[in-house]
Amino acid sequence: MTVSANANPGQGGAATERSADPFVRIRGLTKKYGGHFANDSINLDIYPNEVLALVGDNGAGKSTFIKMISGVHRPTSGSIRIDGRDRDLHSPQEARNAGIETLHQNLALVDVFTVQENIFMGRELQRRIAGVVPALDHAEMRRRTEALFEELGLPKPDLTRPVRALSGGQRQAVGIARLLLDSDVRLLIMDEPMAALGVEESRLVLDLIERLKARGFAVLIISHNLDHVFQIADRIAILKTGRMVGAVERDEVEHDVLVHTIVGGRLPEHLSHRNAEHLA
């Protein structure tokens, strides 16, 4: 568990202050399917300690973009620089090694297992009885699970209950805790994490994202719900038919302006300096 090592929110500024160097720097990222550009020369920076929302109509290229930076699909061209190093991501494992994790919608939890069993699934801790016979170390796993929830500031569910008894928001917390158990995650990607949740549950997940940010993680979130986007995002990146329209500060854009930008694919005049095409 290396969360505390990642928990430093930059160079001593306020918690919301953006650090100078992006964690991920994307330039000219392009994905072609046949003759069709699913992503066309995308430029974007992702900073530590920020929540960046990626929005756009169906087919705008959001999933394609995320799949490239999480190592699922190879770009046709363009570069992905992570923590100052150009990376060629051949697999999700390589992305993970570079600090990028994706929380999938199904969360990959096993319903009949307890919270603790889900978190340690495939990497159970063992102890030796009388120094010889190997046995699962339930006490230590429980201690580490509790410490993990504590450290992440996640609401702690009853660890001994099967996860099928948990609410959607609690399941999200377990899914996130599982991802962060023993990895060096710095960017967490979430594709529509609130899609199947009610109002209360969504609130829980929005809180959870806020806590992750406060602990120094970058979060890239795809959401169709613009109310959620405005509640959670520091910046909003807008895609339209495979192109990056721009990335704007949440505080400099209004709800109806954002809707117009998503539909029209052009930033309004007063925000046009935010067009990501102009990134150096």
Ligand X SMILES: Nc1ncnc2c1ncn2[C@@H]1O[C@H](COP(=O)(O)OP(=O)(O)O)[C@@H](O)[C@H]1O
Which residues lie near ligand X (CB under 6 A)?
A: 33, 38, 56, 58-64
Backbone region of residue 131 per phi and psi (left: phi > 0; alpha: psi in -120 to 50; beta: other values): left
Q: Note the residue count of the chain.
A: 280
User: 64 or 118: whose CB is closer to ligand X?
Assistant: 64
Q: How far is the CB of 233 from Mg ion (least distance, A)?
A: 18
Task: Tell the smallest beta-carbon distance from residue 62 to Mg ion (Å).
Answer: 5
62 vs 186, beta carbon nearer Mg ion: 62
Work out how close the CB of 73 gets to ligand X at its nearest, in angstroms, rounded to a whole number: 8
**Do 227 and 202 meet the contact criterion of CB atoms below 8 Å apart?**
no
Answer with the entry of ligand X, Mg ion, none that 116 interacts with (C-beta below 5 to 8 A by kind): none
CB closer to Mg ion out of 49 and 223: 223
Minimum distance, C-beta of residue 63 to Mg ion, in the bound complex (Å) = 3
**With 0-12 CB in 10 A as exposed, 13-18 as middle and 19+ as buried, what is 185?**
buried
Question: Using CB distances below 5 to 8 A depending on partner kind, what does residue 106 bind out of ligand X, Mg ion, none?
Answer: none
* Between 11 and 58, CB nearer to ligand X: 58
**Nearest position to Mg ion, beta carbon:** 63
Strand, coil or helix: what is 226?
Answer: helix
| 38 binds, options Mg ion, ligand X, none, Cβ within 5 to 8 A by partner type | ligand X
Contact residues toward Mg ion (CB under 5 A) are 63
Minimum CB distance to ligand X, residue 72 (Å): 11
Alpha-carbon gap, residue 174 to 159, rounded angstroms: 10
Nearer to ligand X (CB atom), residue 60 or residue 141? 60
CA-CA-CA-CA torsion sign (164, 166, 172, 173)? negative
Beta carbon of residue 37, minimum distance to ligand X (angstroms, whole number): 8
Q: Which is nearer to ligand X, 40 or 101 (CB)?
A: 40
Whole-number Cα distances in Å, 75 to 31, 43, 103, 276, 277: 5, 13, 21, 19, 18
Distance CA 145, CA 142 (A): 5
Contact indicator for 180, 107 with CB cutoff of 8 Å: no
Distance CA 183, CA 219 (A): 15
